[in-house]
Amino acid sequence: MKKALLISAGRQVSKELIEKYPDRFIIVADGGARLLMKYDLGADILLGDLDSIGEEALDYIKEHKIEVKKFPAKKDFTDTELALSYLVDEGYKDIVILGALGTRLDHELANLLNLKKLYKKGISAKIEDDYNEVIYVEEGSYDFVRTNKKYFSLINAGDRMNFTTKGLYYEVEDLEINSENPSRGVSNEMVGDSATIKINQGSAFIIQSRD
């Protein structure tokens, strides 16, 4: 299976988190290049309109002979979505996205919805930083093991969602989340070394987080 690591221009992550995903094709969305420069890292390709990269980071990209695909500033997609489209076209089936969360709420929400788009294409994808890890899921059973992100939240991604948990502090059976109780699935916690969340109906964002 072809695996990729996408570095976007949002909140920067630690070098340790990047090193958690070795031996992947590395693609950078525009200003994400600043993270490469910060840690003296390489990449396979950089995509974007180059409006947020900065001259110093762009010089770094050129010096390290990283391929650049430049797009017009006036475009229909964010740089992150352009990078994801490139990966989809190239047949990548496992994508980890770093730097997709941060101060720009509009970009953050768009990036979360990109997880849904990738899921529909049969691609395993997640957004991660040093405090959060997010996946989009539909009906099915999902297993988790303990990490430093001990909190679990389920955010309804449709009209209504029904789920069951095992191995979390608040174990629920066929709990429905809808517009009347949108925060009902927020801030659960793993009690052992593993847990299972079953989506019985609907879809959700599962968020693992730490303080």
* Mean of per-residue pLDDT scores for the chain: 94
Distance of alpha carbon 180 from alpha carbon 170, whole angstroms: 20
For residue 192, give Cα distances in angstroms to 112, 120, 144, 145, 152. 28, 32, 11, 9, 13
| Mean pLDDT value across residues 30-56 | 90
Whether the pLDDT of residue 48 is over 90: the answer is no
What is the tens place of the pLDDT at every residue in 156-175? 999 999 999 999 999 999 99
Beta bridge partners of 67: 45
What pLDDT is stored for residue 84 in this prediction?
A: 97
- Strands 25-29 and 45-48, by their bridges, are parallel
What is the tens place of the pLDDT at every residue in 60-115? 999 999 999 988 877 778 899 999 999 999 999 999 999 999 989 999 999 999 99
Prediction pTM value: 0.94
What pLDDT is stored for residue 72 in this prediction?
A: 82
What pLDDT is stored for residue 49 in this prediction?
A: 84
What pLDDT is stored for residue 158 in this prediction?
A: 93
What is the tens place of the pLDDT at every residue in 2-30? 999 999 989 999 999 999 999 999 999 98
What pLDDT is stored for residue 74 in this prediction?
A: 75
- What is the widest separation between alpha-carbon atoms in the chain? 56
Residue (of 187, 208, 201, 120) closest to 159 by Cα position: 201
